[in-house]
Amino acid sequence: MTYTKIIMASVALLISSVASANSLWCNGTVFNSYVSSSGDLIIRGSWRNDYTRLCNLQGSVHGIDAVTCSMWSSYIAASMTNAKKVIVYYGNANGAECNSLPTYAATPAPGYVMLTAENG
């Protein structure tokens, strides 16, 4: 019985470490942002220095609906207007680092976008 508990705890720990290995928190300032004619919200953050898609304002992309995307868009605008940092969390970054995320539509879906009180 005790061995079973130890094995189960070890497996749970291994699974959680594998899951967190794919997690990625990219933070910094946003230099540019735009919305394409198809509704994609695209940013150029200091962590990537290239353009990455966050979401789409016209419809759901990777499970992120237009309402959530609209809120994220307001966070990006506020961060740029007020020189505040943002944190973009990717729950499944597929082994990428912040500076090597795929660009434009190939960017994985963020889990959240956070506006911080910290100045850029």
Number of domains composing the chain:
1
Estimate to the nearest angstrom the gap between the alpha carbon of 78 and the chain centroid.
17
Query: What number of other Cβ atoms are within 10 A of residue 28's Cβ?
Result: 17
The pLDDT, as a whole number, for residue 95 is 86
CB-based burial, 81-110: b 16+ in 10 Å, e otherwise:
eeebbbbbebeebeebebeebeeeeebbeb
Query: Is residue 17 one of the residues assigned to a domain?
Result: no
Query: Is residue 49 one of the residues assigned to a domain?
Result: yes
Query: Is residue 90 one of the residues assigned to a domain?
Result: yes
> 90, 112 in Cβ contact below 8 A?
no
Query: CA-based diameter of the chain, in Å?
Result: 61
Query: Is residue 11 one of the residues assigned to a domain?
Result: no
Residue 64: domain span: 23-119
Query: Is residue 73 one of the residues assigned to a domain?
Result: yes
Query: Is residue 15 one of the residues assigned to a domain?
Result: no
Instruction: Measure the CA–CA gap between 28 and 97, rounded to whole angstroms.
Output: 14
Q: Which residues, 6+ apart, have CB-to-CB distance to 100 below 8 Å?
A: 48
pLDDT tens, the chain, 120 aa long: 554 444 434 434 333 334 445 899 999 999 999 999 999 999 999 999 999 999 999 999 889 999 999 999 999 999 999 999 999 999 988 889 999 999 999 999 999 999 999 887
pTM over 0.85: no
Query: Is residue 42 one of the residues assigned to a domain?
Result: yes
